[in-house]
């Protein structure tokens, strides 16, 4: 039994990771963390019997302690508690499934403790990719992607990184594919929360509707695979069957395919370099029948171009892109800004934020706060 910790166990990726644990019966859950969902955490403690859990919300942690007083679990709180879960001695692999930049510190703790990382929290690499990758390499820590596109790229490259010419990253196009900027002006949170192919947490579902998610993923791929952004081509692929492709120097293109089910990349990130029993329905290409591909509409969805600009600018600019987006998505979900304003607010924050070369983690957190302030002021 491989020993794992799941950070963000009550979320979409967290619960699907526990589904993979149930199906494969190959993992022992040693630690879990969540923010405030006490009821689900209690159920998970009773089912998986972890040694340690942590709730970042202090009140939730206090409530949980009372509820599970009859068990032997140790309940921690705050971000320090999550970092402790990430660095427990017995844990081999840490699944990072917290949403947002809140995942950065615990992921660094896991890396500093030499754990293998099954990385779902893309904001970690987006905000602090250079620092994270260099710390991981210093400690020989493997970062195995959970994000379906990056898992596909990782699998397609296999051991041929030296021959890699280009990455073709696929995008479902989200619920508003084909719409013009004008048609997007009255989009409500309810409309944006309906994704055609994937069932995910609220923040990433909005990111998929604005295509910010593809912007974040381009930056994530740049760091994970050490490739410049001009060699990463986003392509809309409505069916979400090809999860991404790589082109090698001889012109050969390798794609990874599968039904759109996150259990597949989660399972691979846990079992790599081996594979497990099936964790999902088989792919029936005859019933899919047709695979389609389109260019990104950069006019209706300027977020991808902005992400590329941030990646080229380097320094703290990607942290600004991410922080502004996190703040703007929250405003949109609370109906305090319009759908199209999410990208405008990101752009404003990028224009206003001072440049920092070779940032430290502290600079990154400062840039994140600054970007959030700008978004609040501008809205
Ligand atoms: P969810 O919103 O469904 O879950 C987020 C998890 O993080 C929950 O366990 C939540 O706890 C916890 N959490 C929320 N805020 C904090 C905080 N401030 N500190 C600590 N923990 C917190 O998100 P998803 O599972 O959809 O996404 C998780 C990550 O994986 C994101 O980075 C996303 O981009 C990435 N990802 C997700 C995919 C998907 O299919 N869902 C696909 C690819 C990548 P609580 O429930 O108590 O609030
Ligand atoms: Mg993805």
- List CB-based neighbours of ion ligand 2 within 5 Å: 147-149
pLDDT digits (tens, 9 = 90+) for 18-70: 999 999 999 999 999 999 999 999 999 999 999 999 999 999 999 999 999 99
In this structure, the chain runs to a length of 379
85-125: pLDDT as tens digits? 999 999 999 999 999 999 999 999 999 999 999 999 999 99
Q: For the chain, where are the E strands, in sequence order?
A: 2-7, 27-34, 52-55, 74-77, 93-96, 116-119, 143-145, 164-171, 232-236, 242-248, 253-257
8 CB under 6 A from ligand 1?
Answer: yes
Residue nearest to atom 16 of ligand 1 (CA): 35
In the reported structure, the alpha carbon of residue 227 is separated from the centroid of ligand 2 by a whole-number distance in angstroms of 18
| Ligand 1 atom closest to the CA of 38, numbered from 1 | 47
The pLDDT-based confidence of 195 (bands split at 50, 70, 90) is confident
149 Cα to the center of ligand 2, angstroms: 5
Rounded distance between C-alpha atoms, residue 69 and residue 40, angstroms: 16
Cα–Cα distance for residue pair 320/127, rounded to 1 Å: 8
Number of H helices, E strands in the chain: 16, 11
**Interatomic CA distance for residues 295 and 94, integer angstroms:** 36
Q: Residue 229: what are its φ and ψ, rounded to 5°?
A: -65, -30
Paired strand residues for 248: 164
Mean pLDDT of the chain: 97
Q: Which residues pair with 2 in a beta bridge?
A: 27
Collapsed DSSP state (helix, strand, coil) of residue 320:
helix
CA of 196 to the centre of ligand 1 (A): 19
Q: Give pLDDT, residue 185.
A: 94
Q: What's the rounded Cα separation, in Å, for the pair 241 and 357? A: 39
DSSP 358: S
25: Cβ–Cβ under 8 A, 6 or more apart, which residues?
none
**Three-class SS state of 154:** helix
Q: Best substitution site from 109, 129, 149, 204 to test ligand 1's pocket, by max atoms within 8 Å of Cβ?
A: 204
Under the banding of pLDDT at 50, 70 and 90, the label for residue 285 is very high
pLDDT over 90 at 354, yes or no: no
What is residue 176's predicted lDDT score, i.e. its pLDDT? 97
Distance CA 95, CA 80 (A): 17
**CB-based contact 137:114 (threshold 8 Å):** no
d(CA 171, CA 97): 21
Q: Which of 50, 64, 82, 97 to mutate to test the pocket of ligand 1 (most atoms within 8 A of CB)?
A: 97
C-beta of residue 357 within 8 angstroms of C-beta of residue 315: yes
Give 235's pLDDT tier (boundaries 50, 70, 90): very high
pLDDT of 221: 98
Q: Tell me the C-alpha distance between 133 and 225, whole Å.
A: 10
Q: With bands split at pLDDT 50, 70 and 90, how would you rate the model's confidence at 332?
A: very high
Q: What is the mean pLDDT of residues 144-156?
A: 98
Residue 118, beta-bridge partner list: 95, 144
Three-state secondary structure string covering 50-79: CCEEEECCHHHHHHHHHHCCCCCCEEEEHH
Measure the CA–CA gap between 167 and 182, rounded to whole angstroms.
31
pLDDT at 264: 98
The pLDDT of residue 300 is 97
Contacts 24+ apart (CB under 8 A), 327-331: 327/371, 327/372, 327/375, 327/376, 328/375, 328/379, 329/203, 329/206, 329/207, 331/375, 331/379
Residue 138 has pLDDT above 90, yes or no: yes
Name which residue sits closest to atom 45 of ligand 1, judged by CA: 35
This prediction's pTM: 0.98
The strand pair at 253-257 and 242-248 is best described as: antiparallel
What interhelical angle do 12-24 and 38-48 show, nearest 10?
A: 20
| pLDDT recorded at residue 198 | 82
According to the model, what pLDDT value does residue 180 have?
97
pLDDT at 222 over 90: yes
């Amino acid at each position: 039994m491989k020993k794992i910790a799941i950070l963000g166990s009550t979320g979409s990726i967290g619960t699907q990771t526990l589904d993979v644990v149930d199906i494969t019966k190959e993992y022992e859950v040693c630690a879990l963390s969540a923010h405030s969902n006490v009821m689900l955490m209690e159920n998970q403690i009773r089912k998986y019997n972890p040694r340690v859990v942590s709730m970042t919300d202090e009140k939730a942690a206090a409530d949980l302690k009372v509820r599970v007083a009859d068990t032997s679990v140790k309940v921690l709180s705050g971000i320090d508690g999550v970092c402790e879960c990430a660095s427990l001695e017995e844990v081999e692999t840490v699944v990072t499934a917290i949403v947002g930049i809140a995942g950065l510190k615990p992921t660094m703790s896991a890396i500093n403790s030499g754990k293998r990382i099954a990385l779902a929290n893309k904001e970690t690499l987006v905000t602090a990719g250079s620092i994270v990758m260099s710390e991981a390499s210093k400690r020989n820590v493997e970062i195995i992607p959970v994000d379906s596109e990056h898992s596909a790229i990782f699998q397609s490259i296999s051991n041929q990184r030296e021959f890699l010419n280009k990455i073709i990253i696929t995008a479902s196009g989200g619920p508003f594919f084909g719409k013009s900027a004008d048609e997007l002006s009255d989009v409500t949170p309810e409309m944006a929360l309906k994704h055609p192919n994937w069932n995910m947490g609220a923040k990433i579902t909005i990111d998929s509707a604005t295509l910010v998610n593809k912007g974040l993923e381009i930056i994530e791929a740049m760091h994970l695979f050490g490739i410049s952004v001009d060699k990463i081509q986003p392509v809309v692929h409505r069916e979400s069957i090809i999860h991404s492709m790589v082109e090698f120097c001889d012109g050969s293109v390798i794609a990874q395919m599968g039904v759109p089910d996150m259990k597949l990349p989660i399972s691979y990130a846990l079992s790599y370099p081996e594979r497990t029993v099936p964790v999902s329905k088989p792919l029936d290409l005859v019933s899919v029948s047709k695979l389609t591909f389109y260019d990104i509409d950069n006019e209706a969805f300027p977020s991808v171009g902005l992400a590329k600009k941030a990646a080229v600018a380097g320094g703290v600019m990607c942290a600004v892109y991410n922080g502004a987006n996190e703040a703007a998505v929250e405003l949109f979900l609370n109906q305090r800004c319009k759908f199209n304003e999410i990208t405008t607010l990101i752009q404003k924050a990028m224009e206003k934020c001072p440049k920092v070369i070779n940032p430290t983690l502290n600079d990154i957190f400062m840039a994140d706060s600054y970007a959030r302030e700008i978004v609040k002021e501008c809205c």
